[in-house]
Amino acid sequence: MSTDAPAPRGDLVPAASLIPADAPFPKAAKVALGMPQLRANLAHATGTIRAKRAKVAGELDDWERLRDTAAAVKADVQRRLPELAVQFEANATAAGAVVHWARDAAEANAIAARLVREAGADEVVKVKSMATQEIELNEHFEAEGLKAFETDLAELIVQLAEDKPSHILVPAIHYNRTEIRDIFDRRMGDAPAGLTDDPAALAEAARLHLRRRFLSAKAAVSGANFAVAETGSLVVVESEGNGRMCLTMPETLISIVGIEKLLPSFADLEVFMQLLPRSSTGERMNPYTSVWTGVREGDGPQNVHVILLDNGRTGVLADEVGRQALSCIRCSACLNVCPVYERTGGHAYGHVYPGPIGAILAPQLEPGRHDDLPYASSLCGACYEVCPVKINIPEVLVHLRQQGPHAAGERAAMGAAEAVMARPRLWRTALRAARFGAMPWRRKGYMRRLPWPGSKWTVSRNLPVPPKESFRDWWKERDR
């Protein structure tokens, strides 16, 4: 164990603090684009995982049918959500769990904090969970004088760095191993002396650090990947086994589960357990799958609580096109293939759900905020192509754009364009005028610098000059 005092905190700058979280996406993205190390880390990590996913998804000849089935199961869940939630409650309760209902983040946090206190604890170990990130449970606990310790390796890195996750599955994707070594060395307190950036050494340091926490924790907080209505079971899918430690060692287990995580039957897991590991880590099978149903006497936690979380989800459910976002199983395949995410990372999105899924989920979960996110996409469709539950992300992006507010200037320009395009004679006149107006540039072949808003184009690209003779002229000539 290191005897050196941790280095001063000032010299570690969390990436999220550099990117203005409340700035509109284009602004935040610009900052991220200017961080070469961040971009290199992201390009490397997403590129690797993308190739792995493509390989293992390609191995299954019924991949497309699995996707169709998963999409159908999720659509069915969305149609029967109230019924399934009540069924889950009844079965989980019968098995000895206590089920709580939370309308929003504040309710969920308050319930969780109360349960921790009732367990006689002032700290909890945590299983990696997006729902608890969404409700900012750690921050809430801290404000209440409780401590929440992340035990997922990547979440631990982010927590030690006092940073924010930048990826759903790999929250520390924006760090390379040298940076992780520095974070451990300076922030972990019990990091071994002379820690190198060898992945095995880093993992070992984290293991020792976490082991002490597991052994002393009275309570754990988790999310769940799936909640099975038919049996009242919860399922956590993970790679490291740290989640399993949290799920089995403490006396009290509190799981915060978005209501969209429900599945009708245990048999449905067969479909999702094929899709999820392949889509997320690019593995055929994940190392640890934990399933628990209420309490088993003398085995594992004896106080089992489930907090079913709405936090905007029923609002999303009301939108027939947008609701498919609730099918998401948080595999993060869409992030890894997204050319925008790959270049900006997650912090620029200003929401815990970044990337393509964030761009359709954040504005729906928090209506009126994040109106810029549906535009953070070139609509290239790579996300839809890989999504294991076939969420048509481009369709929802366009749908949300059609609901959202528009700037007055843009509205006027689009209206004018439509007015011309809807009148063939006017359209032809406009084209003729453009060809005439372009005369001064014709010799150069390109326009290199235009005034705003054209400057947004010419900042990096030339614009071709309209031709001397249009297709229409040619056609007319030849018709004679």
Partner 1 sequence: MKRVALFITCVNDALFPETPKAVVRILERLGYDVDFPTAQTCCGQMHANSGYRRDAATLARAFDDVFGGYDAIVTPSGSCAAMARDQYPHLTGSAIGQRVHELSEFLIDVAGVEDVGAVFPHTVTYHPTCHGTRALGLGDKPLRLLRAVGGIDLIDLPAADQCCGFGGTFALKNSEVSSAMLADKCANAAGTGAEYLAAADNSCLTHIGGGTSRSGGPRPIHYAEILASTA
**Cβ pair 226, 275 in contact under 8 A:** no
Stretch that binds ligand SF4, among 104-112, 212-220, 327-335, 456-464 (CB under 6 A): 327-335
Q: Which does 148 bind (CB under 5 to 8 A by kind): partner 1, ligand SF4, none?
A: none
Q: Which residue of 422, 443, 451, 477 would you call a contact of partner 1, by CB under 8 A?
A: 422
Q: Which does 239 bind (CB under 5 to 8 A by kind): partner 1, ligand SF4, none?
A: none
Q: Is 328 in the site for ligand SF4 (CB under 6 A)?
A: yes
Residues 6+ apart with CB under 8 A from 41: 173, 174, 175, 176
∠ Cα 433 435 439 (to 5°): 115
Distance of CA 387 to the CA centre of its chain: 13
**Phi, psi dihedral angles at 222 (to 5 degrees):** -135, 170
Site for ligand SF4 in 370-389 (CB under 6 A): 386-389
| 244/401 with CB nearer partner 1 | 401
Phi-psi domain of 179 (left: phi exceeds 0; alpha: psi -120 through 50; beta: other) = alpha
3-class SS at 223?
coil
Per the listing, tokens 């049918």 go with 65
Instruction: Give the helix, strand, coil percentages of the chain, each rounded to 5.
Output: 55, 10, 35
Site for partner 1 in 289-308 (CB under 8 A): none
**Cβ pair 287, 241 in contact under 8 A:** yes
Rounded Cα distance between 117 and 408, Å, is 52
| 187/330 with CB nearer ligand SF4 | 330
Q: Residue 453: is the preceding peptide bond cis (ω within 30°)?
A: yes
Q: Which does 357 bind (CB under 5 to 8 A by kind): ligand SF4, partner 1, none?
A: ligand SF4
Closest approach, Cβ 325 to partner 1, in A, equals 17
Closest approach, Cβ 171 to partner 1, in A, equals 22
Sheet architecture: strand order including 233-238: 262-263, 226-228, 233-238, 288-292
- Three-state SS for 401-458 is HHHCCCCHHHHHHHHHHHHHHCCHHHHHHHHHHHHHHCHHHCCCCEECCCCCCCHHHH
Closest approach, Cβ 130 to ligand SF4, in A, equals 10
Closest approach, Cβ 33 to ligand SF4, in A, equals 22
Tokens of 44: 């490397």
| 126/167 with CB nearer ligand SF4 | 167
Q: Is 191 in the site for ligand SF4 (CB under 6 A)?
A: no
Q: Is 466 in the site for partner 1 (CB under 8 A)?
A: yes
CA atoms within 13 A on the CB side of 176: 10
Rounded Cα distance between 421 and 293, Å, is 61
**Cβ pair 429, 419 in contact under 8 A:** no
Exposed, middle or buried: residue 356 (CB in 10 Å: 0-12, 13-18, 19+)?
buried
Rounded Cα distance between 160 and 7, Å, is 13
Q: Is 25 in the site for partner 1 (CB under 8 A)?
A: yes
| 188/276 with CB nearer ligand SF4 | 276
Site for partner 1 in 333-392 (CB under 8 A): 339-340, 343-344, 374-382, 384-385
- Alpha carbon of 116 to those of 44, 111, 119, 245, 257: distances in Å? 40, 9, 5, 18, 17
Tokens of 241: 């086994």
Stretch that binds partner 1, among 84-92, 110-118, 249-257, 403-411 (CB under 8 A): 403-411
Which amino acid makes up residue 359?
A
Q: Is 467 in the site for partner 1 (CB under 8 A)?
A: yes
Q: Which does 328 bind (CB under 5 to 8 A by kind): ligand SF4, partner 1, none?
A: ligand SF4
The binding track of 33-62 with respect to ligand SF4, each residue x by CB under 6 A or -, is: ------------------------------
Closest approach, Cβ 48 to partner 1, in A, equals 14
Radius of gyration for the chain, computed over Cα atoms and rounded to the nearest angstrom? 26
∠ Cα 177 182 183 (to 5°): 95
Which amino acid makes up residue 74?
K
Site for partner 1 in 120-149 (CB under 8 A): none
Stretch that binds partner 1, among 125-133, 154-162, 232-240, 400-408 (CB under 8 A): 400-408
Q: Which does 6 bind (CB under 5 to 8 A by kind): partner 1, ligand SF4, none?
A: none
Q: Which residue of 33, 72, 208, 291 would you call a contact of partner 1, by CB under 8 A?
A: 33
Q: Is 415 in the site for partner 1 (CB under 8 A)?
A: yes
Q: Is 358 in the site for ligand SF4 (CB under 6 A)?
A: no
Closest approach, Cβ 388 to ligand SF4, in A, equals 6
Site for ligand SF4, rule CB under 6 A: 279, 328-334, 357, 386-389, 391
Site for partner 1, rule CB under 8 A: 25-26, 29-30, 33, 339-340, 343-344, 374-382, 384-385, 394-395, 398, 401-404, 406, 410-411, 414-415, 417-418, 421-422, 424, 427-428, 431, 434, 446, 453, 456-457, 459-464, 466-467, 469-472, 474-475
